[in-house]
């Protein structure tokens, strides 16, 4: 396993691709299965927060074991999403940059600084 913490997205994608290929799992990794798996892992992340207040979560994030469990679930989600981008030929860096540009246009700083959309605020 690679220990370099400065891997690029492309290098992470290759690392995941190798992991999958070595196990001959390629044929299991169809887009719908990968999307479902990412969603399932998101559920596992949400489970770590379930029934806790914002304050309790903030306190727990100082606990190394809890923090590691959160990191593990974020990594699980990201691995599936990176793999989904890889198997569908989507340039993830380009997609994120394009989406952030759309977000900048949708939420200009001059209008949205310090504010969030009402539907988000109302749910908090």
Q: Quick check: helix, strand or coil at residue 114?
A: coil
**Which residues, other chains included, contact 82 with Cβ-Cβ below 8 Å and sequence gap of 6+?**
9, 12, 13, 16, 92
Choice between 28 and 107, CB closer to Mg ion? 28
Phi/psi at 7 (5° precision): -70, 145
Choice between 47 and 91, CB closer to Mg ion? 47
Position 47 contacts Mg ion (CB under 5 A): no
Segment lying near Mg ion (by CB under 5 A), choices 27-35, 41-49, 61-69, 92-100: 41-49
Residue 78: both structure tokens together: 């990201």
Position 16 contacts Mg ion (CB under 5 A): no
Position 44 contacts Mg ion (CB under 5 A): yes
Q: Which residues bind Mg ion (CB under 5 A)?
A: 41, 44, 76
């Amino acid at each position: 396993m690679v220990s370099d913490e400065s891997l690029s997205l492309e290098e992470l994608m290759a690392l995941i691709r190798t992991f999958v290929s070595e196990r001959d799992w390629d044929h299991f990794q169809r887009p719908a299965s990968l999307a479902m798996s990412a969603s399932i892992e998101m559920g596992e992340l949400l489970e770590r927060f379930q029934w806790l207040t914002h304050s309790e979560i903030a306190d727990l994030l100082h606990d190394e074991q809890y923090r590691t469990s959160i990191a593990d679930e974020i990594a699980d989600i990201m691995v599936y999403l990176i793999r989904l981008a890889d198997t569908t030929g989507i340039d993830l860096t380009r997609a994120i940059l394009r989406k952030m540009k759309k977000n900048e246009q949708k939420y200009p700083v001059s209008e949205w600084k310090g504010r969030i959309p009402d539907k988000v605020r109302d749910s908090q």
